[in-house]
Homo-oligomer: A and B are copies of this chain.
């Protein structure tokens, strides 16, 4: 149990670090912990927007509030939005019982939220003008034994690696599901699993398509408009690309055609549950990777359609997911090109 950071919880007692109001961010580590020398915080977009709007884009006031939150809570956990972000730094010390595969000197990104990461800032954020989500910072952060950290690859720009890490759960879980899928004998195309990806042109969608294809699947992408269709067709990641509004169940099912064995939802808008279910064959699996997914809409939708589908809540953690996704990006130039275009557009 200590591996989840309970010893860092100051108040209220007994909750997990994410649910805590205040953490102990002192730099001395326990046997399962790892200390990071912080270089940069990447604030969650929703959190930064709330702070910027509250302070009318006054950088000094935004900086002062971030410092106040971290000093008060021992973590950068925005009390209004409930969100955090991630950080980049260098591993300074690894406790003897830590299971994390890092060593002092590694440059890493933390892949768990800042909302549960003990954080201490020592430079008053003097290098930050308060006007961007990217926060140069000095200080220390603590990772627990049960945590997730990615070593930044030498061959990729950090912002590219971070963008990949941000969505790396989807391709890894898709790979696992495709490889574990047993087709019924006599089913159409019984030799090959079909994977449909709603939102196939986005960051998580394109990595998911690449992972599905590498796992041996036939791939179908559903995208929202002609620009995305053309970009994805040019990238060549899908055997079929169709345009449909992911919130329109009938349109999605028609776009996918023959029901898919595995459908992956990578569209971050509400209302995509029924289309995904309707586009999936009986005995198939739907993986929901959008935080806009409604649990009741999925559960009641499958029942209302008498759909015998397995519905997975997309877990952002699969062992080895960060390396898996970076490896895909390296091996599939089309995915890298899509990512670079998205980053340039942001």
Contact = CB atoms under 8 A, between A and B. Distances in A.
Given A15-B249, A249-B15, A253-B1, A317 B307 contact: yes
B315 A278 contact: no
B315 A309 contact: yes
A119 B18 CA distance: 48
A298 interface: yes
A159 interface: no
A253 B304 CA distance: 34
Interface string A127-154: 0000000000000000000111000000
Interface stretch (A64-72, A210-218, A287-295, A323-331): A287-295
A313 to B, nearest CB: 4
A250 interface: yes
B303 A113 contact: yes
Nearest to A273: B313
Given A16-B274, A308-B318, A291 B296 contact: yes
B147 A301 contact: no
Nearest to A13: B250
A146 B312 CA distance: 22
A311 interface: yes
A171 to B, nearest CB: 15
A95 to B, nearest CB: 16
A305 interface: yes
A314 interface: yes
Given A295-B293, A313-B298, A146 B305 contact: yes
Contacts of A148: 303, 306
A300 interface: yes
Interface string A1-39: 100101000000011111100000000000000000000
A304 B116 contact: yes
Contact of A311 (B16, B147, B251, B313): B313
A19 B274 contact: yes
A316 interface: yes
Given A16-B249, A291-B299, A313 B315 contact: no
Given A249-B15, A295-B288, A311-B312, A112 B147 contact: no
A18 B248 contact: no
Contacts of A17: 304
A138 to B, nearest CB: 25
A310 to B, nearest CB: 7
Highest count of chain B CB atoms <10 Å: which of A254, A309, A315: A315
B274 A302 contact: no
A169 interface: yes
9 contacts: A1-B254, A16-B304, A18-B300, A112-B304, A148-B306, A295-B298, A300-B316, A308-B318, A312-B313
